[in-house]
Every structure is written in C-alpha cells, then in structure tokens.
C-alpha cells in the first residue's frame, strides 16, 4: 500500500510539474508572438508615415517643376550623387545660358536604382534659398532617433492589445535597448536589469539596413503567480485529491495499528481477567469439596470458616465483574455524580488510613503534606475517595520494596492541586501516554506479581474530568512517579 501510494503521489506530482511546464511554454510562445506582431505593426506604421512625407515632397516638386518648365529656360546640367543618413540623393544643377538663372533638382534613389521622389526648384538670383529648401527635404527623409520614431502610447496600446488577443492579462514592464544593451526607453528604473535580461524580446524595425538594431523587451514581475492563478482550478483539484488519498491512507494505517493494539490489550485483559477469576473460583471449589466431606463439615467452626471463605470469594467475584461493568458506564459518559460539599483533606486521611496496613506490611511509609488553605470542593465523595485510593494503591503495588509515598495538596488557580508521589519502579517514557487507556497495563516482562485489569487509571482520569479537572503524570524510570490532579472548587457539568 505504501509503495503504491508513493508511486501514485510521484506520478501526480510529475503530471502537475509537466502541466505547469507546458503552461509556461505556451505563455512564452504567446508572448514572443505578441512581440513580433507589435514590432511588425510599428514598422508598418512608420512606413505609412514615410509614404505620406514622400507624397508631400512629391507635391512640392511637381508644383515647382511645372513653374520652371513654363518659363522655357535653356540650361546646362551638372549631376552629383550624395548619400546622407543612409539615403542616396541624385542632385542635378542647371544654369541658364547667360549664367544668371539657377535651377536645382533632387531625386532619392534606392539600391536597385528606383527613384523614390524628385523635386526641382529654380530661382534667378537666390540659390541660397534653394539650398535651404533642399536641406529641409534632407531633414524630412533622414532616419530619426529611436525616441522620435516610437510613440509610447502607441507602443503600450499595441502590446496590451496583442497580449489580450492571446489571453494574457498579466502586468508587464517594457523597455527598449540598443545592440549593446544600453537603455533607450524604460518604464521601470528599479527593474531595468530584469527587463534587459528578460527572455521576451524582439528587434525593432528589422528591415533598417543603416540604422543600428534596437530591441523591445518586456518583463512580467508576477509571472509565476499569474500562471498559477490561471491553473488554480486544476492545481486545487489535484492537491485535494492527493490530500484525500494520503489522508485516507493515513487513517487506514492508523486504524489498522489501533485495531492491532486493541486486540493485544483485549488479549491481555482476557488473560488477566481469567487469572483473577480462577483464584476465587478455585477457592470456592475447594471450600465446597471440603464441606461435602462429612468429617470436615462435622465441626461447626470448620464449616463456618469454609462458608465465610465462599462468601468472601463470592463478593470478590462480584466486585471484579462490577468493575468491568462500571468501566463501560464511565466510558459512555453515563457516569452520574452525586455532588456535595466535600472536605478533601478528610477524604485523603481516610484513604490513607485504609491503605496504611498494606503499606506497613511492606515496611513502607505514607507521608502527608496538606498545605492547601481551601480544601472544600463540590464533588462526589465516593468517587473522589476511590480516585485517591486507586492512586495510593498503585503507588504501593508498583513500589516493590519499602514504599515511600507522599501525598500533598496546594491551592492552584480556582481549585486544588493534589499530588501523589512514590519512589517505585517508575514508568518508561514510551508508556506514559498510554497508561490512562482502558485495559492498558504497563509491561513488566515475565513478572506478574501486580494484579489488575488496567481499569484503575482510566477510572481516575474519568472521575477527574467529570469534576472539571485534569490529571498529568511525570515519571523517571527506576526512580518513581508523580501523579498531579487538579480539581476546581466548583464545576457545572453542563457548562
């Protein structure tokens, strides 16, 4: 099951990783496609503007040329070719026969010899004016700086339009850089390096043969978050499925171990119960056999002794069965308390008196340190007596030699703190969190000299919690154990 689950989780995680990778690749393709479309549209826009400028220049030429032709002037020609800002110009100068009339024309020539436009201007005495007009034409056709060629509002609107047409609504930052990586136009100085090093870029005006190349680059500061946001439904479904599978598997394994533990505890309980019941049954059986013997039953004293033994063992059997039945009652929460004002110090002293004989028989000692100033609580006197007696009995039973038991009280918060300490065998750390479980008994190896069903501490915890208190335990294996019970002065069971 574990191997299958690990394999399933690994496959699911691999699938999620592949899905994210595919989404990233799709995102990159769409962004690059959008950039290529933007740069293409920018170049088309500039081409249209140049065509409009050339048409305007052509109109000026036609007007001037027609005016000169109407004058019928005989001229001599001189032709020269000038290249400026990557554009070739063919300049033709004409002078009249008398040397006074001046005419100058200009043509733009492409590399394949085609004429772009032609302009001719004539003046009788003002060649400087003509030269100035030609300089204006040169300026209209020159390659402008990138800052003049790009209109930022047009650029931003084109980028947003192209990204949205591909389903991308992520925030972006853009920048324009020259071939050496120097910034020309950026909208974020803080992230200039990230914009420059972004993998999303495209060359601006790629058909320019003279102007140095420039690149448009965009950066998405929240790219990861945006991609996850677009995939949140798929990722959430996958994660929920994984958590459900892992949770179900964990619950199944815990249930299996819990059932195994319950089975072991049940078997241990049955073994202890059988051992506990066999002794009184065997005693009763022997007593009955003795009573059937006429010689032994003839004596009233002997017969009375055996009848008393049967009666005592019968009561013991009844108490054993009753303790098991009571455990079911408090486990279901059906335990009802008969509350009254209880002097806890008096209860402690009475419980100590009852168990002192057993402790003294093992050459032990019980000490009392009752320091609480307020010791009257609202509780069930019988159950509180049983609670204290059970803890004292455990302290005595688990102290093999010369028990040393200390019972103390102090006031704590709105109640009383009761502590019972011993210097017995102690409890191992791995068993501490189990001792309050029903039927659980601390393992003692092959030594079975401590009798019981494992119900005592479970009962003690139930009574403490029923009074609104709590019980904790500290133990050092081989050195002793201390149980601490907090009991409030008053507790409303319904609160």
Mean pLDDT in residue range 64-75: 54
Fold of 71-141: N-terminal domain of TfIIb (2.20.25)
Strand locations in 130-219, DSSP E?
173-178, 183-186, 201-204, 214-219
Average pLDDT, the chain: 78
Max Cα separation, the chain?
180
The CATH code of domain 254-328 reads 1.10.287.130
The partner residues of 202 in beta bridges, in order of sequence, read 216
Lowest mean pLDDT among 7-16, 130-139, 151-160, 281-290: 130-139
Sign of the torsion angle spanned by Cα atoms 151, 156, 157, 162: positive
The partner residues of 474 in beta bridges, in order of sequence, read 482
Q: What is the pLDDT of residue 446?
A: 41
**Residue ranges of the domains in the chain?**
2-49+146-230, 71-141, 254-328, 335-488
Give the predicted TM-score (pTM) of the model.
0.43
Mean pLDDT in residue range 292-317: 76
pLDDT at 97 over 80: no
Vertex 484 angle, CA 478 and 487, to 5°: 165
Lowest mean pLDDT among 100-104, 270-274, 291-295: 100-104
Count Cβ atoms below 10 Å from residue 390 Cβ, excluding itself: 21
Residue 296 CA from chain centroid, whole number: 81
CATH of 335-488, one of 3.30.565.10, 2.60.40.10, 1.10.150.120, 3.30.70.2390: 3.30.565.10
Mean pLDDT in residue range 32-47: 87
Cβ-contact 364, 405 below 8 angstroms: yes
Using pLDDT thresholds of 50, 70 and 90, give the confidence band for residue 102: low
Q: Rounded to whole angstroms, how far apart are CA atoms 174 and 74? A: 59
């Amino acid at each position: 099951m574990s191997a299958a689950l690990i394999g399933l989780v690994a496959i699911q995680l691999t699938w999620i990783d592949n899905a994210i990778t595919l989404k990233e690749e799709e995102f990159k393709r769409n962004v690059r496609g959008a950039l290529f479309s933007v740069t293409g549209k920018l170049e088309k826009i500039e081409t249209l503007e140049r065509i409009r400028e050339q048409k305007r220049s052509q109109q000026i030429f036609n007007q001037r040329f027609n005016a000169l032709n109407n004058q019928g002037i005989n001229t001599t020609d001189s032709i020269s070719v000038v290249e400026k800002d990557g554009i070739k110009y063919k300049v033709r100068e004409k002078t009249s026969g008398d040397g006074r009339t001046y005419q100058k024309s200009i043509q733009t020539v492409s590399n394949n010899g085609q004429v772009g436009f032609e302009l001719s201007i004539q003046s009788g005495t003002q060649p400087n004016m003509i030269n100035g007009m030609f300089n204006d034409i040169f300026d209209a056709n020159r390659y402008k700086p990138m800052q003049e060629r790009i209109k930022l509002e047009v650029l931003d609107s084109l980028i947003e339009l192209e990204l949205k047409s591909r389903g991308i609504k992520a925030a972006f930052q853009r920048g324009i850089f020259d071939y050496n990586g120097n910034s020309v136009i950026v909208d974020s100085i803080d992230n200039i390096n990230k914009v420059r090093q972004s993998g999303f870029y495209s060359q601006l005006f790629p058909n320019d043969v003279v102007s140095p190349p420039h690149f448009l680059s965009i950066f998405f500061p929240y790219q990861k978050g945006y991609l996850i946001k677009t995939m949140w439904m798929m990722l959430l479904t996958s994660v929920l499925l994984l958590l459900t599978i892992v949770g179900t598997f964990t619950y199944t394994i815990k249930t299996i171990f819990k059932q195994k533990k319950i089975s072991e505890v049940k078997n241990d309980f049955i073994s202890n119960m059988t051992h506990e019941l066999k002794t009184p049954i065997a005693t009763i059986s022997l007593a009955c056999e003795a009573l059937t013997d006429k010689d032994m039953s003839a004596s009233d004293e002997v017969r009375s002794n055996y009848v008393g033994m049967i009666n005592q063992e019968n009561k013991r059997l009844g108490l054993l069965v009753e303790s098991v039945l009571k455990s079911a009652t408090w486990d279901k929460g059906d335990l009802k308390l008969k509350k009254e004002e209880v002097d806890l110090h008096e209860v402690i002293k009475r419980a100590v008196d009852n168990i002192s004989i057993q402790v003294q028989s093992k050459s032990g000692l019980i000490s009392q340190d009752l320091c609480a100033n307020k010791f009257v609580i609202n509780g069930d006197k019988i159950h509180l007596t049983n609670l204290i007696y059970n803890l004292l009995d455990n302290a005595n039973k688990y102290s093999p030699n010369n028990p040393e038991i200390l019972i103390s009280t102090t006031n704590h918060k709105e109640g009383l703190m009761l502590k019972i300490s011993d210097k017995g065998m102690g409890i191992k750390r791995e068993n501490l969190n189990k001792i309050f479980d029903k039927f659980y008994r601390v393992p003692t190896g092959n030594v079975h000299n401590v009798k019981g069903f494992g119900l005592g501490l479970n009962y003690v915890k139930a009574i403490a919690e029923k009074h609104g208190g709590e019980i904790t335990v500290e133990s050092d294996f081989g050195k002793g154990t201390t149980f601490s019970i907090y009991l409030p002065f008053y507790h409303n069971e319904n609160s």
